[in-house]
A and B are shown apart, each in its own frame.
Chain A
Amino acid sequence: MSSSVKALPAGLKDAEKGSSLWADAYVRLKKNKLAMLGGIIVISILITCFVIAPILSWIGFDGNEQDLANKFSGPSTKNLLGTDQLGRDLLMRVLQGGQISLLVAIMATMLTVTIGVIYGGIAGYVGGRIGNAMMRIVDGLLAMPFLIIVILFREVISGQVDEIARFLIDDWGWNDNDVLRFANLIPLTFAIAGFGWLSMGRIVRSSAASLAQQEFVEAARSLGLSHRRILFRHILPNMLGPIIIYATLTIPSFILYEATLSYIGLGIEPPNSSWGKLIQEGANYLETNITVLAVPAVLFSLTLFAFNFLGDGLRDALDPKASKD
């Protein structure tokens, strides 16, 4: 393959090269202004939360330092967006909350993609009675009230996580503060993914099932390739489009799940904070000072908007046939 490309005369190379699916998709995506705007906002928010916020905290801004004499103060050089009900710097609180919200959503999405692709891919490729039975399990779990599944998962997992955390601290001498703060996020992440992978599994199964019927899979099978190789080398690469689209749309829905859980007091625990927790605290002081609600709420909604527009744009670009809804 590669040798024949090299053999082409120099002038012909570009003209003859067909445009790949991804290049086509990129051209379509670039035309979609809303999606591009969403993409830019997503990148800026990620940079602000994960690069600028650590720098700010390194030069001395702190989101946890309380200053009770200075609560609900307006913007100043010391507190760029003012302070909250305990005199903490609002900007830093919102950025650190964003770190947690985004981290949980992104980790849960990665888990969702992994589980969903393996489970859905197998169910779709195997098909028949086993594939159907696998999907009935998914349907059954989808019929459960979302809160109950999430809380069950969370409770069951948190015991295990505590043990691992204690092991890391006691036996490996890791910094207990960092370990405990991170360990606090894991049960929630697993709980969200434990519910979230169900829809991913369904989507992957339907595209794997239709791919498994196609000629190139039959060809691969008649060549005597193993099932695992067919699944991972031939079917999976062809499903990347829908997987990327759905993963992009999963992140905002997980940010929302996390925020809802934190809002009702079942999500993030102190000292960690997240956008949902900040919004819930802000709502209590709505009449005293609206910035405490407005800042996290605006950033939270903006992030959801940006991810959703980007995801919709990716769907239009990668899968023009499915872009109607």
Chain B
Amino acid sequence: MLRIILSRLLQTLVVVFLLVTFTFFAIRMMPGNPFADVKALTEENKAAMERLYGLDKPLHIQYANYWKNVLLEGDFGDSFSMKGRKVSTLISESFPISLKLGLFSLILAMSLGIPLGIIAALFHNKWQDYTAMIIAMAGICIVTFVLGPIFQLSFAKPLSWLNVAGWSRPSDVILPAITLCFGVAAYLARLTRGGMLDVLSQDYIRSAKAKGVSQLNIITKHALRPALVPAVTFLGPAFAAIITGSFVVESIFLIPGMGQYFVLGIQNQDYTLVLGLVLFYGILMGIANLMSDLALIFMDPKLRNS
């Protein structure tokens, strides 16, 4: 067990290192420079800016300096585009908001998608199955930027306790979380159905049926745990992606979450912001994958040996 955790953590470190390295050099291949949009910037000022952020030094020195600052001082650098803000401040302010929204919508997605998938598998090729799968397909095809405005118009307008947009009241999490959950719920439903169908055709389920175990017991005690393996595999990366914020949902509901910085950072060629986000995202992704691995080991005893 400990060996699995350690090797996973080591893998995560390697992946994060490669991600940051790739991003560091790739982002400098983009045409233009971080200060191209600042108007009325004389050559002198521009040179001074570049000196200030260390951009005048050779690339490999900049790269080494970046790691030095991150590892030795825990400093992700200053944001280029948001003057006077540190990247770590931007992340630590916006991440809790995205985390709250993401957790809410994940809980919703799991409580919608997993039962839907189980129902579909139990009634395989009957109308319940078709209905469930059409609902799941709707969750994939009716996307957030169509759903969001419709929800705003049909719920937030008539109901006074819901804001159309913004992030000031506790109830503000409801509509964005619902908007965000359908896509994930749909994938979970399809994966749960697939896993369940796989398990239900196994011999040990037939033996349990032959012994007279009740339908409910077969599902909850024998089938459910192995059937959820595909869904949990998907949940790992989905978890990391969803708690780091969705730019679309955040911009529809005007939520000051982390998703916006991914887009702003790239658009403004804010090197430090983008690198900080990639670093943060990579670590979260590693942790989420580790959690889903551990859950899988708990769920499928066969994996413990391998």
A residues at B contact (CB < 8 Å): 34, 139-140, 143-145, 147-148, 151-152, 155-156, 158-159, 252, 256, 259-260, 263-264, 266, 276, 279-280, 283, 286-287, 290, 293, 297, 300-301, 304-305, 308-309, 324-325
State which residues 120-151 of B face A: CB under 8 Å.
130, 134, 137-138, 140-143, 145-146, 148-149
Partner of B263, one of A144, A147, A308, A324: A147
Q: Which residue of A lies closest to B285 (CB)?
A: A143
A144–B26 Cα gap in the complex (Å)? 12
The verdict on A324 contacting B143 (CB below 8 Å), with A147-B262, A305-B137 known, is no
B35 at the interface (CB under 8 A from A): no
A260 and B143 contact, CB distance less than 8 A: yes
Contact B30 A155 (CB under 8 A): yes
A325 adjacent to B193 (CB under 8 Å): yes
Q: Does B223 contact A (CB under 8 A)?
A: no
- The yes or no answer to B56 lying at the interface (CB within 8 A) is no
Within the complex, what minimum Cβ distance (angstroms) separates A263 from chain B?
A: 5
What are the 8 A-B residue pairs with the smallest beta carbon separation, nearest first? Answer: A325-B194, A304-B141, A283-B149, A155-B30, A324-B194, A151-B266, A297-B146, A324-B197
- Per the CB 8 Å criterion, the residue count for chain B at the interface is 48
Known: A143-B19, A300-B146. A287 touches B153 (CB 8 A): yes
* B31 interface residue per 8 A CB criterion: yes
Q: Please tell me if the beta carbons of A144 and B19 are within 8 angstroms of each other in the complex.
A: yes
Asked if residues B140 and A308 are in contact (CB atoms below 8 Å), the reply is: yes
* B274 CB–A CB distance under 8 Å: yes
B42-50, B108-116, B243-251 - the one binding chain A: B243-251
CB distance from B40 to the nearest CB of A (A): 24
Main secondary structure of the interface of B (DSSP, over half): helix
Q: Are B149 and A286 in contact (CB under 8 A)?
A: yes
Contact pick for B145, options A283, A287, A324, CB 8 Å: A283
Contacts of A143 in B (CB 8 A): 15, 19, 282, 285
8 contacts between A and B (CB under 8 A): A34-B134, A147-B247, A147-B262, A148-B277, A151-B266, A155-B31, A305-B141, A308-B141
Q: Do B153 and A147 have beta carbons less than 8 Å apart? A: no
A-B contact sample (11 more), CB < 8 A, given A256-B143, A286-B153, A308-B140: A145-B244, A151-B267, A152-B27, A152-B266, A260-B145, A283-B145, A286-B152, A293-B149, A297-B146, A301-B141, A301-B146
Kindly provide the distance from the CB of A51 to the nearest chain B CB, expressed in whole angstroms. Answer: 24
Chain B proximity of A261: nearest CB distance (Å): 10
A144 to B248, CA, bound (A): 18
B262: which of A148, A283, A304, A325 is its contact (CB, 8 Å)? A148
Give the A-B pair count, Cβ closer than 8 A.
Answer: 105
B4 within 8 A of A: no
A34 to B125, CA, bound (A): 13
Query: Cα distance A14–B263 when bound, in Å?
Result: 61
A276 to B248, CA, bound (A): 12
Q: Mark B206-244, 1 if CB is under 8 A from A, else 0.
A: 000000000000000000000000100000000001001
> In the complex, which residues of chain A have a beta carbon less than 8 angstroms from the beta carbon of B30?
152, 155-156
Which A residues touch B193, using CB under 8 A?
324-325
Q: What residues of A have a CB within 8 angstroms of the CB of B149 in the complex?
A: 283, 286, 293
CB neighbours of B190 from chain A (8 A): 325
A82 to B51, CA, bound (A): 56
> How far is it, in angstroms, between the C-alpha of A280 and the C-alpha of B230 when the chains are bound?
34
Neighbouring B residues of A305 by C-beta, 8 Å: 137-138, 141
Contact B230 A325 (CB under 8 A): yes
Interface centre among A276, A283, A293 (most CB of B within 10 A): A283
- B19 engages A279 (CB within 8 Å): no
B241 contacts across to A, CB distance below 8 A: 145
A152-B30, A283-B145 known; A145 and B140 CB under 8 Å? no
Q: Tell me the B189-204 residues at the A interface (CB within 8 Å).
A: 190-191, 193-195, 197-198
Chain A CB within 10 Å, residue with most, of B30, B140, B141, B278: B141
Query: What residue in chain A is nearest B134 (Cβ atoms)?
Result: A34
